Each structure stands twice: as structure tokens, then as C-alpha cells.
Structure 1
Amino acid sequence: MSDIASVSIARPLEDVADELGRSFEEYGFAVIRDHGIPQDLIDRAEKLSREFFALPDETKRRYKLEGGGGARGYTPFGTEKAKDAEVHDLKEFWHVGRELPEGHALAEYMAPNVWPAEVDGFRATFTELYAAFDAAGLRVLEAIALHLGLPRDFFAATVEDGNSVMRLLRYPPLEGERAEGAIRAAAHGDINTITLLLGAEEAGLELLTTDGEWKPVAPPQGALVINIGDMLERLTNGRLRSTKHRVVNPKGKAAYRARYSMPFFLHFRPDYVIETLPSCVDPAHPADHPAPISSHDFLMQRLREINLA
């Protein structure tokens, strides 16, 4: 078994596409370096994220939007749970989504963002980071297209004005003798197209291999962890794997402090129809998926399963 790929996407994508693709097929995960998101922007974003989560609970809860399914603003500790899980995850988070101009054809699918007035620079910083994530994600999708034998720009139209969401995530510190090894986020697959994750340097992220073993994901400082979501697995007839993963509390002192991370859930356009790619159907891999479905309908179906809709 090979290891999880770790590649620089500053190199020509033709040189790294198959290494990334191999990793996505085998593990559903890869690590990318030189992704183009400036380190000073990452540092500012991490600082402001910590400032927001340090606010009093009653202040944060003012930004919880009832009936919004957690798509924007604040979601309190103990709300979300993994599909089929019996208990809620030990986390709180904030969502920033795409902002579309009034009258845009897809505006009905994307609510306006809300912004905390208590944290200076929050809106400007996370608007900038959202755009940087979007650009990095598109470059990863270009590499995936090359690996699949598709035109390099195949995915550009599928994700243009997509319903992508950036999550600022905090796992509060745990206490007691059971803190070490506790499950902070239960095993789950991501719903979306691909996920780009900042902040996985802190030990705890693990993926489930095809052998049924939990494998730690340990990227170098400043790198992005990328994983395939259910939408892309469905589109590729399972060729690219949406792998179950979880977050466990590490051993030692790190078990007793808060964990922060920033995943970017890159989505197809809400009106994009997910239908198995012909190039991913062959006698060994027949198309056995359900009927084609729009990415919006697929998303809503899955959000209901994880207690967010």
C-alpha cells in the first residue's frame, strides 16, 4: 500500500495529477503544499477565529440563525452529529458562504452571510480567505480532471457560483481521565465535492483505510489536507473515494486544550446534476448509482441526516 500523497501544486499539474489521483483512489485523501493561500492571511484568520470563539456564549448565540440549517453564522456546541451516530459531535462552528449579487439566478439557494460586530476585521479577512480557498480548490479540481482524462477545465463550470461553505471550527478542551483518545467528531464522510482543510497539523485527524484500520493524517505545517466528498465519489462511480474520517483527542497535553481548524467544503453549483461520468463506467465498474440528482437535492437529503436541516 502506498502512502498518502503530499505534492506541491506550484509544479505543473500534469506532473502531479496522477500522484494525487492515485492517493484519492486509494485513500480518498491527499496533502497539497504551495497551495497559494498566503501564510499571513492564514495567521490573521486563525487569530480572529480564536477571538470569536472566546466571546461569551450568549454573544455567540446571537448569531445562530433559526431555521437556517447552520448554513450561515454560528452553530453551538453539541448540535451536529455524524450520519447514523448516536451522540452529537464535541464542537462549535461558524459558517461563511458565497455571497451572490441580488437577482442572481442561484441567490435563492444561498442566504446572506452574517458577521460578528465584536471582532474587528472579521468580514474582510474571511471574505479574502474564502476567495483564496476557492482558487486553491479549483486548481485541485483541474488536477483531478487531468487524472480522469477529462479536459483540464471540466470542473470549472460545475462549481462556478457553487454553494461552498467555509467553516471555522473549535473543539473545546476536554477534562478528566477519558480525555485522551476521546472522539471529538465521529466517523463520517463529507457531503460535498472536495474538502480543503487548514489546521490539521494538530494530531487527531484519522481516515479509515480499506483494511478497516484508522490511519493518522499528519500534514506538514501550512499544508492543506484534501479529501473527496460524496458528490464527487458519486460522479466518478466510486473511482475516487469519499473516505470515512474522524477526529480523536490526541495523547498528552494536547488532549486538554482546544483544537481549531478551518475546512472549506467546496460544492458543485446547486443546479448541477450529478450523473455518473461515462469515462468512469466499464465492465468492472458498472453504473449502479441511483438516478441522477441535483447537487442541491443531494445536499438537503444529507443535511437532514446529520441534524442540520
Structure 2
Amino acid sequence: MSEQIPVLDLAPLQDGAPGALDRLGEELRRAFTEVGFYFVRNHGIPQSLLDATFEAAERFHAQPIEAKLALKINEHNIGYMPMRGATTRVNAVGDVALPNANEAIFFKRDLPADHPDVLANVRFRGRNQWPELPGFREQVLQACDAFEGLGLRLLPLYARALGLEPGFFAPYFDEPMYTLRMSHYPQQEPTAPENEFGIAPHVDTSFMTILAQNRIPGLSLRMPSGEWVDAPAPEGALLINGGMMLRRWTDKRFLATPHRVINRSGRERYAIPFFMDAGYRAVMAPITADSSPADDRTGREPPITYPDFMTGYQRSNFHHAADDKAEKVQMQGA
């Protein structure tokens, strides 16, 4: 299985080796046209930081339910989502399953109270909700900074994979939208219904998902052959994939590969995926195969922005967003 998922080693790029960017861009192109996932090594994020972030996720979910519900998820998709608080619909693969058997807390960029978007109540640009756990906020922010930094360093590879200049994506990611999700998957009993999953088969919504490898099994991928296989966890590597936004932006040339989680390990499982997208107001017009200038592109989908896309997704999949109150939040600048 590990041989089927490409491994990109960033060391030559960091060392300034001649031709490294073009070689890695070609490897990335193959990864996204043949598999939809890839590993990255020598990524610059210390294992100690990842371990501490997993520990923070475990500390959060070990709290009493009352403490967690005090931070209940809101229309900005920030806060705590209780167990079975989401059903995979918009991005489902196959039939819609039962509500997902996990709980999670979501964090976005940590905006100050006087930020213009916060003051205007712009959707998905609200303030984070923090638990009263010593050192927790600092750990989450450190992890977000590290993941964001890696994502930005990878953007030139994505551009070269599409035959574009290395700096093509930079203006779109001046202040990227991102979400760190800290998930808890309890042990699923053998008697659980067949269509209940930790997370049902789905594709991500994001441009880029960075996943710190989990030593407790449960994640599986649907390979191009249609076979579901367990995801490996090679030491020192991060697993990265693209989602619906990347596929749309690349005019469907890049894959968004389905995956799912089933936790029958006998242990509690935690995950800390980091979902990264372009800036809130960036207009993403499909990048067609001829790589024509942005204003002249006529792809298979119309241009879209982050709030346009995420509003429909959230209302369809997250139970807390399925009522009219979420529509009262302004969509300024969208």
C-alpha cells in the first residue's frame, strides 16, 4: 500500500537543489491524477509538536460534556460539535450513512475582537471559542501556524504540477482560510449498524488537507481501482490530499479521493486534520488545461469563493446549520 501513495521528499527543495521544484511538481501532478493522496517527508514540522497537539485533542475531549457544550459550534463552524452532530451528504460517496460517530471541536484563524470581519459578523470569520485548559490555546495556535506554513511552502509545487509559474497561487493565499479539527472517535462496537461510520465515505471540501499520521488505525482510502485499503502510517511523514475545492479549481483534472474512518481498534482514536483553502474573498476560476489567463478561463464550473461554497456544504451536512438562523449572518465581501 505504501508504494501506491507517492512520497514527496522536500529536502532537495529546502537545500536549493537544481531542478527540485520541477521534479517535485511532476511528482505531485502524478499523485493527483493517479491517486489523490501523497506523503510528504522532511516537511519541517517537529514530531514533538504533533504529539503535543494529539495530547491536546485528548485533553479537550476528556472534559465533562457540560464543559464542551459550553463551546457549542456556531454558524461560523467554530466550536464543539457533539457526537453524531453531522451527517455526510453533499460530499458523500454512495448512499448517505447514519450520522457520523465522532465528536469534534473546530478552530479557525484566531481573529481579534476588533477585526473588521468580526465586527461585521462575516460568516466563517468569527472568533475562536477556547476551553479553560492551561496551555491549550497556545498549543493549537502553534500547530495551526506550523500547518499553514507547510501549506504555503507547498503552493509552488501545486503551480508547477499545473504547468504554471511557481508564484501563481500566492495572491489567492494572502491570508488563507483554514480549519483545525480535533476529532475523537470512540470504539465502534461490532454490533453497530453496517452504515454507521466514524466518518462516512466522503471527499474533503478543501484545497489541501494536511493529516498528521495516526498510530491508531481506522482511516481507509478508496483507491482508483475501487478497493478500500487501510492508510499506512510511515514514520515522520504527513499524509496530504485534495478535496472538492482543489478538484473544482483544477477543472476536475486533479482527484478528490474518497476516504472513511471506522474505529474498531479497541482504543479511543483522535485525529487533527488541518483543512486549508484560499483567502475568504479570493475568486477561484477553473484553471483549464491550456493554462490561459485567469480572466479568459471558461472551465466546467463557474468561479466561486470560499463562503459561496462552504455555506451550502455546512447547511447540508452539519445539523446545527440546518435551520434559518445561520442565514442571518452577513455574507459581506463574498
TM norm. shorter chain > 0.5: yes
Q: Does 1:47 align with 2:55?
A: yes
Q: What are the Cα deviations for residues 15-64 of structure 1, in whole angstroms up to 9, with x where unaligned?
A: 32211221111111111112111222112211121111111111111111
Superposition pairs for residues 227-246 of structure 1, below 5 Å?
227-246=241-260
1:191-249 deviations in Å (ceiling 9; x for gaps): 11110011334322222223222132213133211011111111111111111111123
Aligned residue identity for 1:269 = G
RMSD: 2.5
**d(CA) in 2 for partners of 1:122 and 1:260?**
16
| Offset at residue 179 of structure 1 (A) | 9.4
Label 1:5 to 1:280 Cα distance change in 2 as closer, same or farther (>3 A): farther
CA distance in 2, matches of 1:101, 1:279: 41
Against the structure 1 CA distance between its residues 113 and 80, is the aligned structure 2 distance closer, same or farther, given a 3 Å change threshold? Answer: same
Indicate how the Cα distance of structure 1 residues 222 and 60 shifts in structure 2: closer, same or farther if over 3 A, else same: farther
**Could you list the runs of 5+ residues in structure 2 that have no partner in the other structure?**
14-19, 322-334
- Identity value in percent: 32
Answer whether contact 2:156 2:168 (CA < 8 A) is retained.
yes
Moved more, 125-134 or 171-180: 171-180
Q: 2:273 aligns with which of 250, 263, 267?
A: 263
Q: Could you tell me how far 1:153 is from its partner in structure 2?
A: 2.1
Give yes or no for contact 2:163–2:291 (8 Å, CA) kept in 1: no
Identify the residue that residue 170 of structure 1 maps to in structure 2: 184
Q: Deviations over 1:55-85 (max 9, x none)?
A: 11111111114x425x212111100121252
Question: Shift of residue 134 of structure 1?
Answer: 0.1
1:214 aligns with 2:222: no
TM-score by length of 1: 0.88
Structure 1: unaligned runs, 5 residues or longer: none
Distance 1:106 1:141, change over 3 A: farther
For residues 106 and 149 of structure 1, the distance between their equivalents in structure 2, rounded to whole angstroms, comes to 35
1:163·1:266 contact (CA, 8 Å) conserved in 2?
yes
Q: Which deviates the most, 182-191 or 260-269?
A: 182-191
Equivalent residue for 1:10?
11
Measured after TM superposition, the shift of residue 103 of structure 1 is 5.9
| Alignment of 1:154 onto 2:165 | no
1:102 and 1:60, CA in 2 relative to 1: closer, same or farther beyond 3 A?
closer
Aligned in 2, Cα 1:137/1:225: closer, same or farther, shift over 3 Å? same
Alpha-carbon distance in structure 1 between the residues aligned to 2:117 and 2:170: 16
Q: How many pairs does the alignment contain?
A: 299
> Given the two structures, how large is their TM-score scaled by the length of structure 2?
0.82
Runs of 4+ in 1 over 6 A off after TM superposition: 179-182
AA aligned to 2:38 is A
C-alpha distance in 2 between matches for 1:120 and 1:57 = 18
